[in-house]
Amino acid sequence: MSFKKEIERRRTFGIIAHPDAGKTTLTEKLLLFGGAIQEAGAVKSNKIKKGATSDFMEIERQRGISVATSVLAFEYEGKKINILDTPGHKDFAEDTFRTLTAVDSVIVVIDVAKGVEEQTEKLVEVCRMRNIPMIVFINKLDREGRDAFDLLDEVEQKLSLRVVPMSFPIGMGYDFKGIYNLWEKNINLFSGSNRKNIEETIEISDLESKEIDTLVGKKAADTLREEIELVEGIYPTFDRDEYLNGTQQPVFFGSALNNFGVRELLDCFVEIAPKPRPKQSEERLVQPDEKEFTGFVFKIHANMDPNHRDRLAFIKIVSGTFERNKPYLHVRNNKKVKFSSPNAFFAEKKEIVDVSYPGDIVGIHDTGNFKIGDTLTEGEIINYKGIPSFSPEHFRYINNADPLKSKQLYKGIDQLMDEGVAQLFTLELNGRKVIGTVGALQYEVIQYRLEHEYGAKCTYENLNVYKACWVEPTDPKNEEYKDFLRVKHRYLAKDKQDQLVFLADSQFTLQMTQQTYPSIKFHFVSEYK
């Protein structure tokens, strides 16, 4: 198959949602419909029937939540689908934000009973800023939920989206009869004694047909006719260009747990979703069909196989082809590197690939050379625009609980910080290590992984820090900067990249410091260069 055709057939997307909206379950069912797995796993809090394919870390299986982005690839209808299933929990939002730099489109999952939740708003805001095409999937229709029109209004208002319903529910919860598919003009009936079977899909060319009355009952049929008339009167018709530009969002209804509405979502997605898109670098816009390879690291994962202590860097291919055993330039280090065993992923299952194309995600074994945001090319100096580190919201001292295992502890901390799980600061005053996180749950994850993956134990102590600010002096030699370093010495630390950080203990301290030292810039994001 030609290079251009390989690009045309790729679809790389992320699935985002608030926790418990059914995101990981939807991922499982997409894999099931795509023929990639034979049996779907269910993510239940603390009770795992068959562990979800995308939740492969031990702590994910125990807690019943996703704490790291996983990559899954499969073939469907002649297309190569790459799914990035992201954590929904707000404590792991940074992993999700980074992942959104590597996708060409997203599916937003919303719970029919809870509607738009806080984490969904934040994630959609990031997608909107980057003009990422979005499809909305309103999930859990087999449960009692809110009126479909109310939900569509809320999605428009809270998320500032322009929605186009592509399917519509017939009833809801106990009265749920099925879904009318506006995209394909057919009805999916929901029935069976356990209410988990899709009985059949029936082509309906005319909504006035008496056949609908027979299928769902006269009352439900009349309601459906009125609602579809309203939908066609209120909402715009679907326009693929507007969807690709991020100015229109198709909406599907369904129940991922019961396999309902998932095939329709997948069929439509494969048809309308974008192929790999161009990406802006600091130097220029890079097109996917360029001959020369470029790609960037958006995620690092240590210990995917705890027995081998392996560490993988996930690379999104932006242009050209990535070939096994071919030397590429690591731009930041200005060194040539080659990879004998690049991996394609199916959650924790990996297979070695010889050639990968734009849109694909490749995992390469890393001995500590890579960090998040690094660019690889065939020689051109390109730096892909950032994957920033934000100022953490929680800060704690980390202490070694087992002096005999200090080597393992520091190795573990070093590798976990490279993954972007949290940020490490070393105090200038006494060299103590401080871990900063977006959410408190990350401390549990770090503690768990240090013990189970590195054999090291740690304890924490609270530290009163309001914000971490990266310090940028206008002139490192002027007296004002020297005075700042002397007066604020006990509040200063270095991050993992050896950049100077000011740990302000309150908003007032920060404001006063900014006023006292006007020539110094204080940044809340590390990638200010």
The pLDDT mean for the chain works out to 82
396-414 mean pLDDT: 91
384-405 mean pLDDT: 83
Q: Could you tell me if 48 and 64 lie in one domain?
A: yes
Identify the pLDDT of residue 22: 80
Domain count, the chain: 3
302-312 mean pLDDT: 59
Q: Could you tell me if 341 and 405 lie in one domain?
A: no
**Could you tell me the CATH number of the domain that includes residue 404?**
3.30.70.3280
pTM for this entry? 0.75
Last residue of a domain, one of 350, 377, 404: 377
Q: Could you tell me if 364 and 487 lie in one domain?
A: no
Residue span of the structural domain in which 431 resides? 394-523
Is 37 a member of any domain? yes
* Number of C-beta neighbours around residue 184 at 10 A: 16
Q: Mind listing the pLDDT tens digit for each residue in 429-471?
A: 999 999 998 778 788 888 988 998 889 999 999 999 998 999 9
Is 221 a member of any domain? no
Q: What angle do CA 526, 527, 529 make, to 5 degrees?
A: 120
Identify the pLDDT of residue 387: 63
Q: Could you tell me if 373 and 461 lie in one domain?
A: no
Identify the pLDDT of residue 502: 95
Taking CA atoms, 363 is separated from 85, 219, 359, in Å, by 16, 54, 13
Angle of the 441-454 helix axis to the 406-418 helix axis, nearest 10: 130
Q: Could you tell me if 412 and 320 lie in one domain?
A: no
pLDDT greater than 80 at residue 412: yes
Is 17 a member of any domain? yes
Q: Mind listing the pLDDT tens digit for each residue in 27-72?
A: 888 887 766 554 444 333 333 334 444 444 454 444 443 334 467 7
Cα separation of 445 and 408, whole Å? 17
Closest CA to 98 of 318, 446, 373, 384: 373
Backbone phi, then psi, for 28, in 5-degree steps? -55, -45
Cα separation of 81 and 276, whole Å? 11
Q: Could you tell me if 266 and 285 lie in one domain?
A: no
Q: Mind listing the pLDDT tens digit for each residue in 333-385?
A: 899 998 888 877 654 466 788 899 999 988 888 877 888 888 999 989 998 87
Q: Could you tell me if 295 and 430 lie in one domain?
A: no
Q: Mind listing the pLDDT tens digit for each residue in 150-202?
A: 999 999 999 999 999 999 888 877 778 888 888 888 887 776 444 444 545 67
Is 387 a member of any domain? no
- Residue 468, beta-bridge partner list: 503
Q: Could you tell me if 357 and 257 lie in one domain?
A: no
pLDDT > 90 in the chain, percent: 35
Cα separation of 135 and 264, whole Å? 12
Last residue of a domain, one of 377, 402, 435: 377
Lowest pLDDT segment from 113-117, 235-239, 264-268, 413-417: 413-417
Last residue of a domain, one of 247, 272, 297: 272
**Could you tell me the CATH number of the domain that includes residue 7?**
3.40.50.300
Cα separation of 510 and 188, whole Å? 59
Total count of residues recorded for the chain: 529
Is 326 a member of any domain? yes
Identify the pLDDT of residue 282: 87
Cα separation of 115 and 145, whole Å? 9
Identify the pLDDT of residue 377: 94
Sequence letter at residue 502: F
Q: Could you tell me if 30 and 117 lie in one domain?
A: yes
Is 491 a member of any domain? yes
Q: Could you tell me if 139 and 259 lie in one domain?
A: yes
Is 166 a member of any domain? yes
Is 226 a member of any domain? no
Q: Could you tell me if 12 and 125 lie in one domain?
A: yes
Q: Could you tell me if 267 and 139 lie in one domain?
A: yes
